[in-house]
C-alpha cells in the first residue's frame, strides 16, 4: 500500500483572499519555510523522490573514499610512501567492498547488479557508473590484493604471490587513472534526475563531490599514515575540503529556491555538520602537521564532514522532491518571466 501523503482538506485549501490568482497553498505538511505563493494539488509531490535508502548516500561516500584512496595509493607507491600506500590501498579495498555491499543491498540481490552490465548506455549515469566501477574496481582491487599479500610473511610469498606483487604498481596506476570518474560520476547520478535540489546543482555538484572525496580519502590517509608520510594526504585533504566548501556556496546560488532544502530539517543538520567538520578538519589538518593525534582527529573530522555532505545532499534531494514547491515555483517563475524552456533551432 502506498503511504498516504495527502495535504489539506478541500474545505481549507482555498482560503486565499479575493482576487488572488493562485489561491491554494501547497505543501501543507511539508512546507518548511515561510509559504511561497504557489498552487499545488493538495500539497502532494509532483516529482517522485528517488526510492533509495540511505545505502545510496553511504555509497556516495565510500565511492569517494575509494577513488581518492586509489589516487593517494598510486602517488604513495610512486613516491615511496609505503605506509600511506598501505592505508590508501586498504582504504580503497574496504570502501570498494562496502560500496558493492551498499549497491547490492539497495538493489535487493547481486544478480541485479550484473543485470546492469547487459547494456552500456551513455544516457544513463548509472550504467556509465557501473561500467566505470567495473573498470576501476578490478585494478584497484588488484593493487590492494598486492598490498595485502605484501603483508604476508616472506616464506609464503610463492611465485603467484610474487606475480601479484609485481602487478601491484601497474594495477594501482590504472586504478588511479580510472578513479576520477568514480568520484565524479555520482554527482551526475544524482543530478540527472528530476529531483529539484539535485538537478539544479549539476554544474557544481561534481566539484563538491570530488572535493569531498579528496577530503575524505586524504583524511583517511591522515588517520592511517605517520606524520612523515602523510604530507600529500594532508594537502589533498585540505585542498579537497577547501574546494568542497567554496564550491558548495556557489552551488547554492545556482540551485535557486531548492537550495533551501540544504538548510532545513534532516538535510540542514547534515549540512551544518558537514560545514563544521570539514572546516575544523581542514584547519586541524593544517595546524596538526606536527601532531599525530591532531592529524588523526582532523582526518576523522574530514571524513565525517565528507560523509555529512553526502548525507546532506541526499536528504536535501529527497526533501525537494517531496515538496511540490521546489518543482512548481522555479518552473512557474520561469514561465511568468516568459522564458519557458523551448527548443531553439
Partner 1 sequence: MAEAHPVGFQWVMEAKKRGARIIHVDPRFTRTSALAHQHVPIRVGSDIAFLGGIINHVLQNELDFREYVVNYTNAANIVSDKFEDVDGLDGLFSGFDPETRTYDPTSWQFAQEDQDGELGQAQADDAGDTAEQRDTAAGMQNEAHGMQVGSHPPRDETLQHPMCVFQVLKRHYARYTPEVVEQICGVSQEDFLEVCRAWTENSGRERTTALVYSVGWTQHSVGVQYIRAGAILQLLLGNMGRPGGGIMALRGHASIQGSTDIPTLFNLLPGYLPMPNAASHQTLSDWIDGVRNPGSKGFWANAGAYGINLLKAYWGDAATAENDYCFDYLPKITGDHGTYRTVLDMIDGKVQGYFLVGQNPAVGSAHGRAQRLGMANLDWLVVRDLFEIESATFWKDSPEVQTGEIVPEECRTEVFLFPAASHVEKEGTFTQTQRMLQWREKAVEPPGDARSELWFFYHLGRMMRESLAGSSDERDRPLLDLAWDYPLHGEAASSGWGEPSAEAVLKEINGYEVATGRLLSGFGEMKDDGSTLGGCWIYSGVYADGVNQAARRKSRHEQSEVAPEWGWAWPMNRRLLYNRASADPQGRPWSERKAYVWWDEDAQEWTGHDVPDFEKKKPPSYRAPEGSDGVAAIEGIDPFIMQGDGKGALYAPQGLIDGPMPTHYEPVESPFRNLLHGQQGNPTRKEYRRSDNPLNPDPREPGAAEVFPFVFTTSRLTEHHTAGAMSRYVEHLAELQPEMFVEVSPALAAERGLEHMGWCHVITARSAVEGKVLVTERLRPLRVEGRTVHQVWMPYHWGQGGLVSGDSTNDLFGISLDPNVLIQESKVGTCDVRPGRRPTGPALREYVEGYARRAGVLDHEEGPVVTASADAQQRSAAAQDGADQHSPQQREDQ
Partner 2 sequence: MTSANSLFGPLDPAPDAGYVDAPKRKGFFTDTSVCIGCKACEVACKEWNDVPENLYEMLGTSYDNSHSLNANQWRHVAFIEQPAGRSSVGLPPTISDAPGRDSVDLGMPTLGAAPTEVPEDEKPDFRWLMSSDVCKHCTHAACLDVCPTGSLFRSEFGTVVVQDDICNGCGYCVAACPYGVIDRRRGPEGDPKVGIAQKCTLCYDRLKDDQRPACAQACPTESILYGDVEELRERASARVATLHEQGVMDARLYGNDPDDGVGGTGAMFLLLDEPEVYGLPPDPVVTTKDLPQMFRRAGMAGTAMLAGAALAFLRRTP
Query: Which partner, partner 1, partner 2, none, binds residue 61 by CB below 5 to 8 Å per kind?
Result: none
Q: According to the binding rule CB under 8 A, does residue 12 interact with partner 1?
A: yes
Specify whether the CB–CB gap between 7 and 43 falls below 8 A: yes
Only one of the segments 6-14, 257-265, 274-282, 308-316 lies at the binding site for partner 1 (rule: CB under 8 A); that segment is 6-14
What is the spatial distance between Cα 79 and Cα 73, in angstroms, rounded to a whole number? Answer: 10
* Phi-psi region at 19: left, alpha or beta (left = phi > 0; alpha = psi -120 to 50): left
Q: According to the binding rule CB under 8 A, does residue 255 interact with partner 2?
A: no
Residue 30 is classified by DSSP as: T
Query: Which partner, partner 2, partner 1, none, binds residue 223 by CB below 5 to 8 Å per kind?
Result: none
Q: Which of residues 30-49 bind partner 2 (CB under 8 A)?
A: 38-42, 44-49
Q: Is 270 exposed, middle or buried (0-12, 13-18, 19+ CB in 10 A)?
A: buried
Q: Which of 250, 252, 249, 298 is nearest to 277 (CA)?
A: 298
Q: Is 329 helix (H, G, I), strand (E, B) or coil?
A: helix
**CB-nearer residue toward partner 1: 11 or 338:** 11
Q: Which of residues 309-328 bind partner 1 (CB under 8 A)?
A: none
Q: According to the binding rule CB under 8 A, does residue 342 interact with partner 2?
A: yes
In the structure grid, which three cell numbers stand for residue 171, read together? 594495477
How near is the Cβ of 3 to partner 1 at its closest, in Å? 15
Q: Which of residues 75-114 bind partner 2 (CB under 8 A)?
A: 75-76, 78-81, 106-108, 112-113
Which DSSP string do the residues of 92-105 spell out, in sequence order?
Answer: HHHHHHHHHHHHHH
Q: Which of 143, 188, 275, 304 binds partner 2 (CB under 8 A)?
A: 188
What is the spatial distance between Cα 213 and Cα 65, in angstroms, rounded to a whole number? Answer: 5
**CB-nearer residue toward partner 2: 151 or 343:** 343
Query: Which partner, partner 2, partner 1, none, binds residue 47 by CB below 5 to 8 Å per kind?
Result: partner 2
Give the dihedral of Cα atoms 96, 187, 204, 237; nearest 10 deg: -10
Query: Which partner, partner 1, partner 2, none, binds residue 12 by CB below 5 to 8 Å per kind?
Result: partner 1
Q: According to the binding rule CB under 8 A, does residue 123 interact with partner 2?
A: yes
**CB-nearer residue toward partner 1: 4 or 293:** 4
How near is the Cβ of 326 to partner 1 at its closest, in Å? 27
Q: Which of 3, 5, 7, 11 binds partner 1 (CB under 8 A)?
A: 11
Specify whether the CB–CB gap between 40 and 325 falls below 8 A: yes
Q: Which of 33, 119, 166, 287 binds partner 2 (CB under 8 A)?
A: 119
Specify whether the CB–CB gap between 190 and 313 falls below 8 A: yes
**CB-nearer residue toward partner 1: 11 or 19:** 11
CA 54-172-180 angle, to 5 degrees, is 50
Q: Which of 3, 4, 10, 293 binds partner 1 (CB under 8 A)?
A: 10
Q: According to the binding rule CB under 8 A, does residue 2 interact with partner 1?
A: no
Q: Which of 3, 4, 5, 9 binds partner 1 (CB under 8 A)?
A: 9
Q: Is 266 helix (H, G, I), strand (E, B) or coil?
A: helix
Q: Which of residues 275-314 bind partner 2 (CB under 8 A)?
A: none
Specify whether the CB–CB gap between 199 and 191 falls below 8 A: yes
CA distances 99 to 61, 180, 242, 303, Å, are 9, 16, 25, 16
Q: According to the binding rule CB under 8 A, does residue 249 interact with partner 2?
A: no
Residues at the interface with partner 1 (CB under 8 A): 9-12
Amino acid at each position: 500500500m502506498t503511504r498516504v501523503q495527502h495535504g489539506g482538506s478541500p474545505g481549507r485549501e482555498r482560503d486565499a483572499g479575493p482576487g488572488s490568482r493562485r489561491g491554494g497553498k501547497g505543501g501543507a505538511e511539508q512546507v518548511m519555510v515561510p509559504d511561497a505563493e504557489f498552487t499545488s494539488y493538495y500539497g502532494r509531490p509532483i516529482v517522485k523522490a528517488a526510492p533509495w535508502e540511505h545505502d545510496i548516500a553511504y555509497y556516495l561516500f565510500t565511492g569517494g573514499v575509494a577513488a581518492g584512496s586509489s589516487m593517494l595509493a598510486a602517488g604513495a607507491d610512486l613516491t615511496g610512501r609505503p605506509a600511506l600506500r598501505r592505508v590508501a590501498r586498504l582504504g580503497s579495498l574496504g570502501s570498494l567492498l562496502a560500496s558493492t555491499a551498499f549497491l547490492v543491498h539497495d538493489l535487493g540481490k547481486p544478480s541485479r547488479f550484473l543485470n546492469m552490465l547487459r547494456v552500456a548506455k551513455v544516457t544513463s549515469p548509472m550504467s556509465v557508473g557501473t561500467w566505470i566501477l567495473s573498470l576501476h574496481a578490478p585494478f584497484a582491487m588488484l593493487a590492494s590484493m598486492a598490498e595485502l599479500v605484501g603483508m604476508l610473511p616472506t616464506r609464503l610469498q610463492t611465485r603467484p604471490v610474487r606475480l601479484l606483487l609485481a602487478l601491484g604498481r601497474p594495477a594501482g596506476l590504472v586504478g588511479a587513472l580510472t578513479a576520477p570518474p568514480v568520484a565524479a560520476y555520482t554527482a551526475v547520478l544524482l543530478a540527472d534526475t528530476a529531483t529539484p535540489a539535485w538537478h539544479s546543482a549539476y554544474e557544481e555538484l561534481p566539484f563538491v563531490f570530488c572535493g569531498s572525496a579528496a577530503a575524505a580519502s586524504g583524511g583517511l590517509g591522515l588517520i592511517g599514515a605517520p606524520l612523515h608520510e602523510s604530507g600529500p594526504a594532508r594537502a589533498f585533504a585540505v585542498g579537497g575540503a577547501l574546494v568542497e566548501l567554496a564550491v558548495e556556496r556557489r552551488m547554492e546560488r545556482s540551485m535557486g529556491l531548492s537550495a533551501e532544502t540544504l538548510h532545513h530539517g534532516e538535510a540542514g543538520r547534515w549540512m551544518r555538520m558537514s560545514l563544521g567538520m570539514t572546516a575544523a578538519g581542514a584547519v586541524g589538518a593544517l595546524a596538526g602537521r606536527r601532531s599525530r593525534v591532531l592529524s588523526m582527529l582532523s582526518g576523522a573530522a574530514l571524513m565525517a564532514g565528507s560523509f555529512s555532505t553526502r548525507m546532506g545532499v541526499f536528504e536535501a534531494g529527497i526533501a525537494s522532491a517531496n515538496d511540490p514547491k521546489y518543482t512548481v515555483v522555479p518552473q512557474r517563475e520561469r514561465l511568468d518571466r516568459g522564458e519557458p524552456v523551448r527548443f531553439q533551432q
